[in-house]
Amino acid sequence: MSILFVSIGSGGQRILTEAYASYPSLRRGNFFVMVNTSASDHERTARRFEAANIPSYENVKPVVIGEGYGAGKDAELGLKMYEADRSKVVELVKEAHERHRFRLAFTVGSLGGGCASLAIAELSRDVAEALKVRVVPMVTLPFRREGRLIVENALRGLRRLSEYGFNPLVYDNELTLEFTRTVDEGVRLANHSFARLISTLIDVVECEDFAVPPIDIIDVTRIMIPQCGGFSTLFYDNVRDFTRTWREGLVKGFSLRSKVLTRSNAFLACKAKAFPQSLVEDIARFLRSRFNVAEMIPTVLERKDYVGYAVTTIIWGFSIDDIAPSLAPREEGAEQLRPRGLRLPLLHR
């Protein structure tokens, strides 16, 4: 089964570029479209692939909308550029769908900037309507200190996705400030986390026949509920460290802080050569308790060529309004920064 990935804007393109360069399993059979108002980002992608010794990437298609000089931080301008050139994107994904017969699509973007903030909702709807497949948006949120315009763009983008009937997976860059030293480190961590998540979802597709229990990737989309979701990805090279610290790792690495609206739904994937069944049960119980999970889809992927122990969990059912820190710029909303919802403190052994 092939999966379609469509990024929009510079941030989304960096996420897909890093995922494609870092995980060879993504390159086989899937299709990538990178939509951008900035032509220079396509050049950076080509340089990154060259550095990763990827000589050919026929399944990666760049699309320039507008004149190629970017949209700055003007979300309305970015939306107009997409609307003017949307036929380029729609025709390309339709043509690819004829060859690959996608069953699922992901749209990827960083909210806050001019290109993706409002246009990703339009893009997601266009892909869903043109291909008649389920679409899962993946988005990042900006650092709050970036100011009123960028943060308001991000909040408008989240609300627009919700209005269009999409429940995006969210990675909040602000949370990286707790355990990275620089902005660049934080952005790289966000990109790497999304890349690892995408890699796991591809593994689920490739291993669905021998996963325990067997799983269809479409089942994962069935449990998506409003308004948005978060995720956590862990990797340990030995079972001792994994057994000792997985609780803290899942909490510390969770991509979003917000309040669960009523009940949540969860997906859990555990990967290893041989994954201890008792640990799977422990992790599932922990997630059910912490996030008030109503329905969970757990699966274990075991193959002889897997290295280490990996866990990926996705939780849907979080509130947009209760995202913490609040989606208000620091200079005007410092009093709002105290989280009103689920704080997710670090757990101690």
Q: What is the fold of 3-167?
A: Rossmann fold (3.40.50)
Closest CA relative to residue 48, chosen from 13, 6, 85: 13
Sheet holding 104-110, edge to edge: 60-64, 31-36, 3-8, 104-110, 134-141, 169-172, 228-236, 309-318, 260-272, 293-302
Residue 188 has phi, psi (to 5 degrees) of -65, -40
Evaluate whether 325 touches 144 at the Cβ level (below 8 Å): yes
As to burial, measured by CB atoms within 10 angstroms (0-12 exposed, 13-18 middle, 19+ buried), residue 24 is exposed
Does the pLDDT value for residue 91 go beyond 60? yes
Which is more confident, 19 or 212?
19
pLDDT digits (tens, 9 = 90+) for 265-283: 999 999 999 999 999 999 9
Chain mean pLDDT for the chain: 91
d(CA 250, CA 347): 10
pLDDT at 210 (0 to 100)? 62
Residue range 28-56: mean pLDDT, rounded: 95
Closest CA to 239 of 275, 211, 206: 275
pLDDT, residue 212, reads 76
pLDDT value at 175 more than 50: yes
pLDDT for 305: 87
Task: For residues 113 and 153, give the distance between their C-alpha atoms in angstroms, rounded to a whole number.
Answer: 7
Topology annotation, domain 217-324: 60s Ribosomal Protein L30; Chain: A; (3.30.1330)
pLDDT at 336 over 50: no
Average pLDDT (135-140) is: 98
Give the predicted TM-score (pTM) of the model. 0.90
Instruction: Sketch the domain layout of the chain as residue ranges.
Output: 3-167, 217-324
Say how far apart CA 119 and CA 11 lie, in whole Å: 13
Taking alpha carbons only, the member of 243, 91, 93, 116 closest to residue 168 is 116
What is the per-residue pLDDT for 331?
A: 53
